[in-house]
Structure 1
Amino acid sequence: MSPTADRHALVIGASRGLGLVLAGELARRDWRVVATTRGDDAELRANAHTRSGRLSVESLEMTSPEQLAALRERLAGSRFDLLFVNAAIDRGDLPIGEVPTEMFTEVMITNVLSPLRTLEALRGLVVPGGTVAVMSSEQGSISRNTEDGYELYKASKAALNQLMRSYTTRYATDEHTKLLIDPGHNRTRLGGPDAPLDPKESVPAVVDVLEAQAGAPGLQFLDYQGEVVPW
């Protein structure tokens, strides 16, 4: 990332939850942030009004290739030190044999295909030495999959990690730091009210990791404390 204070970030998926807190934390640290939303964005836009121009909002339905191309066109003149893609849905705790085909397709398109399409579409906006990062989960770790439950969600995060590995192989010489981030189990709509972590505490730690890893080569799968998550 740029050594100067004038750092620019593009956060995909910031209307609520972890993405919302992430965009706000970056702006609080004096990053200039462009954050995208699918439409449920009242809190994000309210945050933008309080950030003295350091946070702006763009519309994007990430699963739409047409909207993704339109965003790329709107941002053609911009350059970013950080591109962070945050997207995940969970459709409940069904054994895989009971998952309807439509549900499987929806989760895989949202959690796997769309984040990588987004990286492919927007990576050209990231400066040399910049960072591309994707919100993953410890749930995507195959070696740590030792408890029952949430099979489809786990599979989607493992597939995301695998495609990010392929992305890294394809663009091994592009000078971008590449990160998969496990933010921990947070109290969000996705994580549920009984999760142990508060995003207002865990997300600043995520930003610490992003800033500390700037310029690091290759792909790393790290948690919010900067510890390696096993594949």
Structure 2
Amino acid sequence: MAKHLFITGANRGLGLTMVKQYLQAGWNVTACCREPEQAGELILLLEEHESLSVFQLDVTDYPALQQLGDNLQGEPIDLLINNAGYYGPKGSTLGDIDVEEWRRVFEINSIAPLKVLEAFRENLKLASSSIFAILSSKMGSMGDNTSGGTYIYRSSKAAINSVVRSLSVDLRDDNIAVVALHPGWVKTEMGGPNALIDAQESVTGLKRVLDGLDMSQTGEFLDFRGQKIPW
């Protein structure tokens, strides 16, 4: 029986590349994004692959999130990837921080992933062993922060890293491995054109890490090469 991937933020960049790679690997894929009707490449994939399902989902719409969880009741999920994220305003400096934008970034990056887990925890439990992977960032690492700044994005990723550690403890008895992943500095809409790697290289690495992940690594913070990142 084919394994099942559920992924958020699947309309472009890393999320879309993950959808493609997992479909090529023979997985069933449930892909979610806020505006599927504007996700041209994703819709083309939907026409080409019977193993792909696409749903409209804003991860901060918690009633809709729970409704989708109810709709998929009884469906095992082997891998749940929370890829949806938001960088916020670029170029913000000390003394010029947009508080409302900070709240929005926290909502998407730090609160929503936990609500995603709550909505699909039972689906993960139905798989013999499963993984909840959160796309974090090395910018959330306290130990790696030597350049300062980027207060909004850094703090949101530090917060979700803390959530990952707590989930790894709370979900151990459910046999659900939880991991924070750093995809590298990737040439996407968020990463920009000066980034060091493309989405294909990043996702190939991330998939290799996830393919080899087991409960002995739950609660870890890993980059796309499988190297540990300091918290």
- TM-score for the superposition, normalised by structure 2: 0.93
Q: Retained in 1: the 8 A contact 2:9–2:85?
A: no
- Which among 6, 10, 14 is matched to residue 10 of structure 1? 6
Shift of 1:66: 1.3
Q: Retained in 2: the 8 A contact 1:136–1:180?
A: yes
| Structure 2 counterpart SS, 1:153 | helix
Aligned amino acid, residue 110 of structure 2: V
* Stretches of structure 1 lacking an aligned partner (at least 5 in a row): none
Mapping 1:46-195, distance limit 5 Å: 46-51=44-49, 53-90=50-87, 91-126=89-124, 127-195=127-195
Q: Retained in 2: the 8 A contact 1:134–1:179?
A: yes
Q: Retained in 2: the 8 A contact 1:96–1:152?
A: no
| Structure 2 counterpart SS, 1:10 | strand
Aligned partner of 1:223 in structure 2 is 223
- How far apart, in 1, do the equivalents of 2:114 and 2:85 lie? 13
Q: Retained in 2: the 8 A contact 1:6–1:31?
A: yes
- How far apart, in 1, do the equivalents of 2:215 and 2:148 lie? 38
Shift of 1:222: 0.6
Aligned partner of 1:200 in structure 2 is 200
Answer with 35-44 or 185-194: which moved more.
35-44
- How far apart, in 2, do the equivalents of 1:99 and 1:32 lie? 42
- How far apart, in 2, do the equivalents of 1:102 and 1:162 lie? 22
Q: Retained in 2: the 8 A contact 1:37–1:60?
A: yes
Shift of 1:54: 1.9
| Structure 2 counterpart SS, 1:27 | helix
Shift of 1:179: 1.1
- How far apart, in 1, do the equivalents of 2:138 and 2:212 lie? 20
- TM-score for the superposition, normalised by structure 1: 0.93
- How far apart, in 1, do the equivalents of 2:70 and 2:189 lie? 32
Question: Is residue 42 of structure 2 the alignment partner of residue 44 of structure 1?
Answer: yes
Shift of 1:128: 3.7
Please tell me the root mean square deviation across aligned C-alpha atoms, in Å: 1.4
- How far apart, in 2, do the equivalents of 1:149 and 1:197 lie? 23
- Which among 28, 45, 54 is matched to residue 24 of structure 2? 28
Change (3 A) 1:139 1:8: same
Identity within the alignment, %: 33
Shift of 1:215: 4.5
Change (3 A) 1:96 1:67: farther
- How far apart, in 1, do the equivalents of 2:111 and 2:175 lie? 23
| Structure 1 counterpart SS, 2:200 | helix
Deviations 1:5-53 (A, max 9, x none): 61111111101111111111111111111110111322111122223x1
